[in-house]
Structure 1
């Protein structure tokens, strides 16, 4: 593996011994990303190596979810599978923990097919089995707005799971699909955690005690509930959930130290076995300096600054300095060393905790 991005970090005052420990640890541990945003990582020549160079052995790649059209959603999964197969020199489709093991053994990154949202379900729960057969292994039931299953983080009403949503939770448990609560509103989040017989994940969130992003940053009560049921809270460097003005919602400049504050807080609330990393980083979008018309910041920030913060709607907010893209992921490992975590604890945060959940649910 290329070690260009895994050397010393300028962000932390580490001794030579500590810096070498962080470098070696980053190289040898199995890093799992709770949320990879952008299928272009699969085949864009400028970015297809970024996940592997970051040391990621597996990542939950969003391949659908918000679309209400089931045929288009299924076609999107099929397209992702084709692109994976065409790039199997560096990627491997993950449908079991054994696939992640094989990816690590062959110096590839395992790709877990995941959905952000269940709009496509409509009133037909049999579609859940279809997407499971297509290889999808992670599903967030809601994405910002409400749907037939429950309410998302941008919905104005204070409702949770619908009757159909409760049935969907049970069906996903039966199918062995990991349930994600990242874009669910508070009540939906709590009801999913309560009703699921399997541990759930929050694949890319912040801690609301540090940054008040409604829904997208989870409360201490929610962090603890997810942890108590064996689930995992994946801290993301996504700017609106990391640092903002409490009164104006203005997204403030942040650094890798602010992300580590969220990691520390989640650990304090739920324990080290309940915390992981969820990137939600788009290296190409940052480089382009513009975002699509359908992006969250363009569509939802205008009406929901309490969720997505106040800031530009034509480009991404600057991600935290020192952790703005995958090529800087080694800084997170160095920071965990600097914060006093043991090697075993860092292995859990950077991948072990998610692997435990996947093994439990997919078995």
Structure 2
């Protein structure tokens, strides 16, 4: 996510509104069946998502609604960010915050064993899918918690971290993020980090990287990489998106790119479901159906668009434009979700859209999560 502090402030406000009694729709619950019939038997993975439970007290009625959204989603797993990101961390604050987040998520999963599962292996994914639980894959969006200590990589693996993104938008010790004008690529230390991630069987994620960081990360990794949440730069020429050249290089090494739901899918107005489909189809054309997934970069539960949320969201977007994340001529009414996919079961709806456009069930299953699962199996062992 582009401005992590601002986004978390926005999401905390949303959690508060939810606690006050907001209701969340569920397409699957209302319809009584899947929009795409094979969905409930499909291993579905969101490459950038999560629940709001870490912001809620145990006795908050919103907890049950979050858990219901997890069930309604039909997802097998989400790649959950447990590390702080989106700012400079020049001391051990990120390290300590990450360990605290991991502890807290472990406690949350232990309190809800029938609804949630910790994912540390491909077999865990299979078990989560079979038991209709939502699996949590711990990941970082930036290597700041590592500091300058490579030995923290095996330590975090022992704590359950299975995916580490090298950079967020800014430059760090590993390399340049996508908003850095210098486009400096990987540092020498960054190459050491990639080598150690490979050795510890942790997936390398290149989302948010500068063009050189993405290209050099692909070249440096001996294992397939993810670009967990991105768009296609050929369709929307924005720094957060990935060029066709990088997509091909990633696919040549066996990697997967997840299509994001943020306003990076267009350069003008609000993206809608058809824009998600366009980016998925372009990525398929460029790098093949075995290398495309979905990384929404939004919470599992849909957004209740209350008047307060609309006000807060406009303020949030104005701040994003002031920070240069979005162009100043973009409308204040942009959303970091897709309005016509604003339900927990958005993967099911998207699958039905792809099916109606002639994509085979086998291809759709790969996009919904099969491709991410393949990389995870290959890297985790």
TM category (shorter chain) comes to 0.7 to 0.9
Q: 1:298 offset after TM fit, Å? A: 7.0
Q: CA, structure 1 residues 192+244, in 2 after alignment: closer, same or farther (shift >3 Å)? A: same
Q: Distance in 2 between matches of 1:278 and 1:128?
A: 24
1:244 corresponds, among 267, 285, 309, to 267
Q: 1:318 to 1:36 in 2, by over 3 A?
A: closer
Counterpart of 2:11?
A: none
Assess if the C-alpha contact under 8 Å between 1:160 and 1:187 holds in 2: yes
Equivalent position SS for 2:136: strand
1:277 deviates by 1.1
Q: Does 1:23 align with 2:23?
A: no
Greater shift, 20-29 or 264-273, is seen at 20-29
Q: Distance in 2 between matches of 1:269 and 1:125?
A: 35
Quote the Cα distance in structure 1 between the aligned partners of 2:124 and 2:360. 28
Name the SS for the 1:211 alignment partner.
coil
Where structure 2 has 5 or more consecutive residues not aligned to the other structure, the ranges are: 1-24, 57-62
Q: Does 1:113 align with 2:138?
A: yes
Show the counterpart of 1:182: 207
1:127 to 148, 152, 161: 152
Instruction: Go from structure 1 to structure 2 and tell me whether the alpha carbon gap of 1:284 and 1:331 turns closer, same or farther (over 3 Å shift).
Output: closer
**Offset of 1:280 from its aligned partner?**
1.3
Q: Deviations over 1:269-304 (max 9, x none)?
A: 0000000111212346664617999x9957654232
| Residues 165, 204 of structure 2: 8 Å contact kept | yes
Distance 1:311 1:76, change over 3 A: farther
**Partner-residue secondary structure (3-state), 2:169:** coil
**Retained in 2: the 8 A contact 1:5–1:330?**
no
TM (norm. structure 2) is 0.82
Q: What is the deviation of 1:41?
A: 7.7
Distance 1:308 1:128 in 2: 39
The alpha carbon displacement at 1:350 in A equals 0.8
2:255 counterpart residue number = 231
Secondary structure (helix, strand or coil) at the match of 2:65 reads: coil
Give 1:253 deviation, angstroms: 2.3
The TM-score, its normalising length taken from structure 1, stands at: 0.85
Of residues 174, 179, 197 in structure 2, which corresponds to 1:172?
Answer: 197
**Deviation >6 Å, runs of 4+:** 290-293
- Answer with 149-158 or 319-328: which moved more: 319-328
Verify the 8 A CA contact 1:242 1:258 in the aligned structure 2: yes
Q: Which has the higher strand share?
A: 1
1:78 alignment partner in structure 2: 103
Q: C-alpha distance in 2, partners of 1:328/1:123?
A: 40
Q: CA RMSD in A?
A: 2.8
Measure the CA separation in 2 of the matches of 1:110 and 1:327: 16
Between the aligned partners of 1:4 and 1:359, the Cα distance in structure 2 is 31
After superposition, the Cα gap between the structure-2 partners of 1:105 and 1:320, relative to the gap in structure 1 and judged at 3 Å, is closer
Aligned residue in 2 for 1:48: 67
- C-alpha separation between the residues in 2 aligned to 1:38 and 1:309? 32
Measure, in 2, the Cα distance between the counterparts of 1:265 and 1:298.
30
The answer to whether the 8 A contact 1:237-1:323 is kept is no
| Offset at residue 21 of structure 1 (A) | 8.9
Number of aligned residue pairs: 340
| Structure 1 portions without partners, runs of 5+ | 10-19, 246-251
Paired with 2:123 and 2:312, the residues of 1 have a C-alpha distance of 36
Match of 1:265 among 269, 274, 282: 282
Residue 237 of structure 1 contacts residue 324 of structure 1 at CA under 8 Å; is this kept in 2? no
What is the distance in 1 between the residues matched to 2:296 and 2:350? Answer: 11
Match of 2:358 in 1: 340
Deviation at 1:5, TM superposition (A): 2.3
After TM superposition, list the pairs within 5 Å mapping 1:1-363 onto structure 2: 5-6=27-28, 23-40=36-53, 44-66=63-85, 68=89, 69=93, 70-214=95-239, 216-238=240-262, 240-245=263-268, 252-282=269-299, 283=301, 287=305, 289=309, 301-305=321-325, 310-312=330-332, 317=335, 319-363=337-381
Deviation at 1:28, TM superposition (A): 1.7
Out of 55-64 and 80-89, give the one that drifted further: 80-89
Paired position in structure 2 for 1:248: none
Residues 131 and 301 of structure 1: CA distance in aligned 2, closer, same or farther (over 3 Å): farther
CA distance in 1, matches of 2:226, 2:255: 5
Question: What is the CA-CA distance between 1:40 and the residue it aligns to?
Answer: 2.8
